[in-house]
Amino acid sequence: MTRTAPFLIRFLLLLLCLTGAAVNTGNNLLYLVLSLMTGFAILAFVATGRSLRRLKVALVLPDQVAAGETFLVGIEATSLDGSLPTGGSEVTLAGFPGEAPAALVPPLAPGARAVVAIEARAARRGVHSAVGLRVSTAYPFGLFRRARRSAPADAIVVTPRRTRLRSVWIEPAPAAGADPARRLGDGADLFNIRDYTPQDDARKIDWKASARLDRPMMKELEADHERALEIVIDERAAGPSAAAAFEALVETAASILDYCAGRGLRGRLVVSPDGLASQPLEGRDAMLYLATVQPRRDAPAPLRAPGSPGAQRITLSLDASIRTPLRLEPLAP
């Protein structure tokens, strides 16, 4: 791909004027200058293409990233062996579903290598396999800016957007004599000590740790019978209006799994593709499922079986009759 550099417009206008003057006057000197300028333009076009062909670029992507969060993308540039260097180039991400600035690759001597990192942010979840690089340069004379695209790199998995949670409260069922709301992590076993915040219960301040560190410290406790959390997503949804609501369910599931990972709780995503047998997914497998799951009109209803022993089960659904009432407290920005 070739596009004109700003200097080329002025060069072509000058060339056009010289052509008109040479034709009208028949001056041999003007014809000589015209020939030199035409040869210079051809030389610039060829040299720019040669510099572009001799620059090898490779894209280095992380395996999984979260939508809406900034991550680093690596660009490895290598000048192929030869007698001439490659000029400075501009590299941009092609086919990337989000925002990423252009990277500037410096001039490289023959056989030299450079690694450039840029910050990128994906806009939507999914598995994106068409992400590649677009390399452009105007080296050496700035007359032409030529560009080419590299082959797509390996697929990048973009997991759902997530909210950093301070706590997850399971609300009581609307029945007489229901237990009060419980927060995941309330119990008798100490598993972490952290800085106290004004929103915390002052009764759980660890006074010994506070005196030792000279600042208020908070005890975090793990539930006696809720050391694992199972999340079930009701995939039944149809229509444009339901799509946005289903996306919110997926983001909630990702946020809760992220909360469990940060609190030492075992978070599992329980899926049932056929509606008969359940399959627990954890860690990267769970996030990969959330990155690709889509609402389906014909999806089976979620299983209403109780959670595994020692686990609390949460059902996320657009149907209020089966949805587990939750209250999520985000971390203060």
1-159 belongs to which homologous superfamily?
Immunoglobulins (2.60.40.10)
Global confidence as pTM: 0.72
Task: Kindly list the distances between the CA atom of residue 289 and the CA atoms of 82, 125, 127, 272, 307, in Å, as whole numbers in the listed order.
Answer: 47, 11, 10, 12, 20
Is a pLDDT exceeding 70 seen at residue 175? no
Is a pLDDT exceeding 90 seen at residue 311? no
Is a pLDDT exceeding 70 seen at residue 5? no
- Separation between Cα atoms, residue 287 and residue 253, nearest integer Å: 9
Averaged pLDDT, 99-105: 93
Average pLDDT, the chain: 82
Percentage with pLDDT > 90 across the chain: 29
Averaged pLDDT, 164-178: 68
User: What residue ranges do the domains of the chain occupy?
Assistant: 1-159, 165-184+225-330, 188-222
Predicted local distance difference test score (pLDDT) of residue 142: 80
Find out whether the peptide bond into 140 is cis, omega within 30 degrees of 0: yes
Who wins on pLDDT, 5 or 118?
118
- Separation between Cα atoms, residue 211 and residue 46, nearest integer Å: 73
| 157: phi then psi, degrees, rounded to nearest 5 | -95, 120
Please, which pLDDT band fits residue 89 given cuts at 50, 70 and 90? very high
- Separation between Cα atoms, residue 160 and residue 149, nearest integer Å: 29
Span 227-247, pLDDT tens digits: 678 899 988 877 677 888 999
| 257: phi then psi, degrees, rounded to nearest 5 | -60, -40
